[in-house]
């Protein structure tokens, strides 16, 4: 008996098929493991899956429950710092789901001093591959999220499709919403 595909992975698959040249990417990177639901579901369509989480508790749980799965690697730490190290070992296009939002109650927020999204996007601006970057939680775009705020600066209220497009600049070949994700299609350099 098969289970229905995870909604985030359904949206990811649709985004991959939307623009020519992205459907055959076989490596998935996720920031924000949480309970590893999306991470494990990604193995349905990707041969290599990496997931990064800031919470020691969530990272440990994911490794204990799913760490023995072939093709799956869990990484612990701040996604803005760990993501470049993970990608340095991957010399091909990836699909990345940027979902590293502060997980209240699991130890990740206390260690954070900055809003990670823009630093994560900068990592992809510097890569030379035709990556597909999915920014999760469109419903949060443009909103001042006091419940997860960790800085005095601009956080989610500054995230809009227009701001994402401007930030990615000439690396962007296309962009579109898919469910609760915003897809940024990058050119190879």
3-state helix, strand, coil in the chain (%, to 5): 35, 20, 45
pLDDT for residue 95 is more than 90: yes
- The predicted-structure confidence for 9-28, as pLDDT tens digits, reads as follows 999 999 999 999 999 999 99
Smallest CA-to-CA distance from 164 within 133, 139, 126, 131 is with 133
* pLDDT tens-digit series, residues 142-155: 776 665 555 555 56
Average pLDDT value over all residues in the chain: 86
Measured distance CA(30)–CA(40) in Å, rounded: 11
Tell me the two tokens of residue 119: 């630093």
- pTM given for the model: 0.88
Instruction: Find out whether 119 and 30 touch, Cβ atoms under 8 Å.
Output: no
State the CB neighbour count (10 A cutoff) for residue 76: 16
* 13/23 Cα distance (integer angstroms): 8
**Class of 7-186 in CATH:** alpha beta
Q: How far apart are the first and last CA of the chain?
A: 43
pLDDT of 62 over the 80 cut: yes
């Amino acid at each position: 008996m098969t289970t229905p595909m995870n909604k985030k992975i359904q949206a990811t698959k649709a985004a991959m098929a939307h623009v020519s040249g992205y459907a055959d990417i076989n490596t998935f990177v996720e920031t924000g493991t949480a309970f590893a639901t999306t991470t494990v579901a990604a193995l349905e369509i990707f041969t290599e899956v990496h997931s990064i989480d800031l919470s020691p508790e969530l990272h440990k749980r994911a490794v204990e429950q799913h760490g023995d799965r072939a093709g799956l690697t869990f990484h612990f730490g701040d996604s803005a710092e760990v993501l470049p190290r993970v990608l340095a070992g991957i010399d091909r296009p990836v699909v990345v789901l940027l979902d590293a939002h502060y997980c209240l109650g699991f130890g990740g927020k206390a260690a954070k001093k900055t809003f990670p999204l823009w630093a994560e996007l900068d990592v992809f601006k510097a890569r030379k591959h035709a990556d597909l970057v999915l920014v999760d939680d469109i419903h949060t775009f443009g909103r001042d999220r006091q419940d997860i705020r960790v800085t005095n600066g601009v956080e989610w209220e500054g995230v809009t499709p227009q701001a994402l497009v401007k930030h990615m600049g000439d690396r962007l070949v296309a962009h579109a919403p898919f469910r609760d994700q915003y897809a940024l299609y990058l050119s190879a350099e």
